[in-house]
């Protein structure tokens, strides 16, 4: 996307209505407002009636300055009390108790952890007893998985047949490392999940128009993906720079894992195109808080 197009499509907020800069045709992600808090959901996941899920925005929290408003990171310099209150607000708005959250410990791996009710609160009200975990899965109702973002890709997985869910953080390293496939394989081993039964979604994150990468990154994508996919995944700009499509790369990983194409919902909202409403590391040059994805069984 050119600078002119970005400028002409600035996000606007009018009361309880947000005009996101969206990609593609008809809006896909649904906006949800409650008590001044805005979050996003996928109709395709809601349709099964078995999960509660959402993706936070910046709107409705109590943090200030570069963290304004709904920052969900304890590690970027925000006041702990404000972050705790933000968790309480987003949880109440989406419809779960914040004490039931289990948080990832993201380091751009393809590591997936199985969690249970005994893990509830870890990363929020009590310390984690695990490290290097970018994906979480569970089959216990009431456990709410949480992963964190400011341009990387949230991946949602719902098995409505066996009653299991997965939520994974996929930056470019996690995408090359196929955390999507590892999440599906973990759900299969643990819960008997059949990939063709999974309902999946690729959440708000940086779009190809905004995501410029260097050649060393593209070399790894060339090694990870078949030649006939390269044109779909990236294009050269010159001077060793490329525009990379993480959304399509994650979709290809889901397809490789056996998820049906008609079961995959792909975001139409880019974090970098909407910096007034969503945290973006690139748009803010690193001065930002964190968004969060949430997913649990009812």
For residue 262, the tally of other CB atoms under 10 A from its CB is 8
**Domain locations along the chain:** 3-210+246-297
Question: Per-residue pLDDT for the chain (298 aa), expressed as one digit of tens each?
Answer: 333 333 335 566 665 667 799 998 778 999 999 999 999 999 999 999 999 999 999 999 999 999 999 999 999 999 999 999 999 999 999 999 999 999 999 999 999 999 999 999 999 999 999 999 999 999 999 999 999 999 999 999 999 999 999 999 999 999 999 999 999 999 999 999 999 999 999 999 999 999 999 999 999 999 999 999 999 999 999 999 999 999 999 999 999 999 999 999 999 999 999 999 999 999 999 999 999 999 999 9
pTM: 0.95
Fold of 3-210+246-297: 3.60.140
37 token code pair: 């808090």
Q: If you count them, how many residues does the chain have?
A: 298
- The dihedral over CA atoms of 94, 143, 255, 190, expressed in degrees to the nearest 10, equals -170
């Amino acid at each position: 996307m050119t600078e002119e197009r970005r400028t002409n499509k600035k996000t606007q907020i009018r009361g309880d209505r947000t005009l996101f800069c969206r990609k593609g045709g008809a809006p896909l992600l649904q906006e949800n407002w409650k008590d001044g808090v805005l979050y996003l959901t996928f109709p395709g996941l809601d349709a099964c009636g078995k999960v509660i899920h959402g993706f936070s925005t910046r709107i409705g929290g109590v943090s200030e300055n570069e963290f304004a408003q709904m920052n969900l990171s304890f590690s970027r310099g925000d006041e702990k009390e404000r972050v705790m209150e933000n968790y309480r607000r987003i949880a109440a708005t989406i419809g779960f108790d914040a004490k039931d959250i289990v948080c990832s410990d993201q380091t751009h791996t393809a590591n997936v952890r199985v969690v249970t009710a005994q893990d509830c609160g870890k990363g929020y009200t009590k310390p984690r007893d695990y490290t290097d975990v970018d994906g979480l899965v569970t089959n216990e109702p009431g456990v709410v998985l949480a992963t964190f973002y400011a341009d990387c890709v949230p991946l949602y997985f719902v098995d409505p047949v066996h009653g299991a869910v997965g939520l994974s953080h996929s930056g470019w390293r996690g995408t090359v490392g196929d955390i999507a496939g590892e999440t599906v394989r973990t759900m299969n081993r643990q819960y008997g999940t059949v990939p063709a039964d999974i309902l999946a979604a690729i959440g708000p994150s940086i779009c190809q128009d905004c995501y410029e990468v260097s050649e060393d990154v593209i070399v790894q994508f060339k090694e990870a993906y078949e030649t006939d996919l390269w044109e779909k995944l990236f294009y050269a700009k010159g001077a060793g720079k490329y525009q990379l499509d993480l959304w399509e790369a994650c979709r290809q990983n889901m397809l490789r894992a056996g998820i049906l194409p008609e079961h995959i919902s792909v975001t139409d909202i880019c974090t970098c195109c909407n910096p007034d409403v969503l945290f973006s590391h690139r748009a803010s040059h690193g001065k930002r808080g964190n968004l969060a994805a949430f997913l649990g069984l009812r």
